[in-house]
Each structure stands twice: as C-alpha cells, then as structure tokens.
Chains A and B, each alone.
Chain A
C-alpha cells in the first residue's frame, strides 16, 4: 500500500520538475534580463494568481457557463438529429446507401471551415457557435450510429423474428440495445469535437465564452490569462470525456 502510493507520487516527479523549473526560469531568472518578461512568459504562480482573481470576480464562471450552454444546446441538437437519422439509415439500407454518399462528400470538410458560414448566416454571437457545434458533432454521432446498427448480428434478428417479434419490437428490443455501445462511442467523439470547435468558434466570432476570454488575453497582452484559459479549457474537456466514459460504464456494464 505504502510503496504503491510512493510509486504513484514518484511518477509525477518529471511534471513537478518541469513546473518548478518553469517557475524559477520565468519567475526569477528571466525578469533579470527582461523587465517586461511577465508579458511574454509568465511563471505558473502568475497563472494561478489570475485564475484566483477571475474566479473571485465571477468572470471565469460567466464565461465558462456561456461556453457550456452553447455546447449543451449544440450537442443536444446534433444528437437529436444524428441518432434518429443514423438509425433510419441502418434500418432501411436503400436510404442508408443514398445518405452515405451525401455524408461522404461533407465529412472531409474540417468543422472549422463552417465558422465563416455560421458568421455569414447568424452573425457574431451564440447562434453562430451553436450552428458550428451542431454541424461538426453530427458526423461522428451519425457514422457510429450507422455502424452500431450494422454490426447487429443477423442471427439475433432472425431469432427474434422467428420468435414472433414485430419489426418495431425487433428494433426497440434487439437492434437498439445492441447498437447502443457504438452510439455512445459516437456521442463521446462528438462531444470532444464540439468542445474543440467551440473554442475556435469563440476565438473567431464571439463576445463571451472561454474562447473569447483567451483571445482577449492577446488584446490585453496578458499571456498569464491565455495560459489560465487554456488549462481551464483542457480540464473541462477532460472532465466531459471522463463523464461520457462514466456514463458508458453505468449504462452498459456488460460492455466494460
């Protein structure tokens, strides 16, 4: 037990060394050569300081909530479109074959490339961000839903049918539960995309949110704010992913 803990702690020694080295170089050595060094390469203590300031002023919470709300709405709309569409593509192969060609044309387009269209159609603001999130998270959810329905074993379907299940019952009781793990994988990837695109969209056309906050750091010449924003964005992204993994384990214990 004790040695296990020691082992765990010791595995963070490189990370700790990097952080301490960063603090010493950026906090004490660099300022001796350059009086405005904080405006270029701030020490971690300055990053923590600005985190504390913005947390207390409530500004950080406001921007975080703005970003989270956009992701929730955009991701929710994408799920409501993509899951039924994917299920229908899996259920009717002729329709699926037709849709697949359309999707294959649109899918290689980088999600970020939709941002200017979002700006053109919706202007600067949350609608633009929601639009871009919907477009970019739709594809992974859709593709994984289709794959999930397609991987249902024909034996399962045939046995359900031969036991007298109607088409609807077959779909609800056999196809859907069997496809669910793959659908959840799609949702997880989609949420990751949504978070990444959110930052870009807020960087380019927004007046609130975490992406806007870090862009503002550039205008203010405050790299500590940029670092702080980056880490907050990274941590939230990590938590969202961990949350989806947790959901996967709870909903699909047989899959873990």
Chain B
C-alpha cells in the first residue's frame, strides 16, 4: 500500500531526475574532453556544494537582502503612486482620457532601457536601482487598478445607488470590488520586480544576486552562477506562492 503511494509520488519527477543525472555525467565525463578546466559547464553537484558553502559563510543571504530591499522599496514607491493613479483613472473619465496617452507612451519602453539614463542621473547608487524597479512595476499596478475599477459589476453600483449610498460609501464599494484586480497587479508587479532587478544589478551594482552572478562569471566560478540563478528563481517562486496564499486570506470572497 505504502509502496504504491511512493511510486505515485516519485513518478512525476522521473524526467527531471534523469536530466539532472545526465547533466552530472555529461559534465564529469564529456565536457573535460573539450574543455579541460570544466568551466563551461560544471556538474549540478558542484553548484549544490557551492550553495551550501555560500550559505555557511552568510555570503548568499547578504546578497539576497540587498536585492530584496531594492525590489520591495522600489515596488512600495510604485504602489503608493501607481495604485491611486489607477483608481483615479478608473473612476473619472477626465483622468482616464488625459492619462491614457501618457501611460501609453511610457509603458512600451522596457524597464531595462531606463538603465543608461538613470546611470547618468544617479550614478551607480541604490537610488538608481529603486528608480528602475519603480518604473518597471508601476505600469501593471496602474493598469490593473484601472481595470479593477472599470470592471466592477454595474448591478452592484446601481444597487448601492438605489439604496442611497453617499459618495464615501460608493468609493468604498468600488475599492472593495476592485481589490482582486489590484491584488493581481501587485502579484504581477512583484514578479516583474525580481526579474528586472537581476538585469539592473548586472549592469551596475556591487551587491545583490544579479551582481553575484556577474561576479561569479568574471571570477570564472560557473557553479556560483547556477547558485545565483536558482536562488532568484526560488525566491520568485516562493514569493508568488506566498501572495496566492495571502490573496485567499485577504480576499476570501474571490
């Protein structure tokens, strides 16, 4: 009975396990024939060993904290400005009509394209990183807030009106009803934030996970590049799970 259960649990990971073993063997026995140093593709076991080593030294978490601070501060700034703008655009025709062209022009510019100009303005500083995260996360926040307010069920609005809701009550209604969309915007923005920080830290930073990866490349420590890469992937994944859980707590009616 228990053995059958075990097989069922292991089964989905067969291909993944096979590929990891293949990679390990390929790196150990094939790569050295072409690249005696083995630097171009170290085995996964080397990455795991380096990860344990870096965690023991406290080196990894120091970079994780540096990146996290940039992502969350830049995001917080974008949320404080972007969500109210989005709500305003959703509620008032005038605001939407005037702000749409402005947002429309800025939004297609990839966040990383702001890196050179911000380096000219701020130099290699944390301020520059905050700005990149800010500009990279504000548009999904604005657009989802607009969509959230605009897609509130008209029946709800008419019902509230006929029940004699004043403007304060109407505002609260619109805000509550658009919460799921706003939250989706937050989830997307935070995911993007962790994407962008890597590129930003690769170009200009002396701390953070993006820096850790570039530094590992210049130091010819390929296995450390694996560590940085999977650390970011893991954080992004864990953050998303956490937000999904939080969403169920905050918006139970969804």
Contacts and interface: CB of A to CB of B under 8 A. Distances in A.
28 contacts: A14-B102, A15-B98, A15-B102, A39-B120, A97-B12, A101-B12, A110-B194, A112-B196, A115-B202, A116-B225, A117-B225, A117-B229, A119-B217, A121-B40, A195-B110, A200-B199, A204-B203, A217-B120, A218-B117, A218-B119, A218-B120, A226-B120, A233-B113, A234-B105, A234-B106, A237-B108, A237-B109, A241-B108
Nearest to A241: B108
B114 interface: yes
A98 B15 contact: yes
Interface string A83-119: 0000000000000011111100110111111111101
Contacts of A221: 120
A214 B113 contact: yes
B14 A13 contact: no
Interface string B209-239: 0100110110000100100111011101100
Contacts, number: 151
A196 interface: yes
A112 B67 CA distance: 15
A131 interface: no
Contacts of A77: none
B84 interface: no
Interface residues of B, number: 52
Contacts of B119: 218
Contacts of B228: 113
Interface residues of A, number: 55
B71 to A, nearest CB: 11
Given A15-B101, A102-B15, A120 B116 contact: no
